[in-house]
Chain A
Amino acid sequence: SSELTQDPAVSVALGQTVRITCQGDTLRSFYASWYQQKPGQAPVLVISGKNNRPSGIPDRFSGSRSGNTASLTITGAQAEDEADYYCNSRDTSGNQWVFGGGTRLTVL
């Protein structure tokens, strides 16, 4: 199987640090990418590869990987970071994309 598993919901206090995780066997071979989706909007890439941020993404967003788990860390979460976050990666064959089920982040 090439599934990616995410916690459905995570919350963080304003200004604190939060880690959103994504688990799957394929992550041992491929890096995860992370996408932020706000209500009514298209997903936006926030992290790719080892830890690459596209232009315009704040540096409070970072990515890491350990074994079969990829993590998206937001250091000093802001109210505008409240959104759904999806991880994705190539499946173990490399021929398909797989997505995690998404994590809804609430900033308290």
Chain B
Amino acid sequence: QVQLQESGPGLVKPSETLSLTCAVSGFSISSGYHWGWIRQPPGKGLEWIGSIFHSGSSYYNPSLKSRLSLSVDTSNNQFSLRLTSVTASDTAIYYCTRDAYDVLTDWGRGTLVTVSS
């Protein structure tokens, strides 16, 4: 059974870069699927951030594209997110997911990132 676990700083200062990593166990990233990120501001709905294939090809939410970078590390079976120039509106729970193109099959437990000075 695949498991995903997000990690990274829980507090980021405005204008700085948010960096998160998702460790995958129970499945090799190199075996297929896309791997994605979803976020949820406190008390609000879900927003897709972007997804990446093990080869490195990726696609992003257009509203975040200019600040977003996804990467994959197959040797450590993990993938990462970098979001630059963050503001308070980037405060959210960030989830990593396994993206089977027509369904998001598995989710991590999520990690809260607060943007504040």
Contacts and interface: CB of A to CB of B under 8 A. Distances in A.
Interface residues of A, number: 23
B102 A48 contact: yes
Contact of B105 (A41, A42, A45): A45
A102 to B, nearest CB: 5
A86 B102 contact: no
Interface residues of B, number: 21
Contacts of A101: 45
B43 to A, nearest CB: 11
Contacts of B48: 88, 96-99
Contacts, number: 54
A49 B45 contact: no
B47 interface: yes
Nearest to A94: B101
Given A42-B95, A96-B59, A96-B61, A86 B104 contact: no
Contacts of A108: none
Interface in B25-69: 36, 45-48, 51, 59, 61-62
Interface of A: 30-31, 33, 35, 41-45, 48-49, 54, 86, 88, 90, 95-102
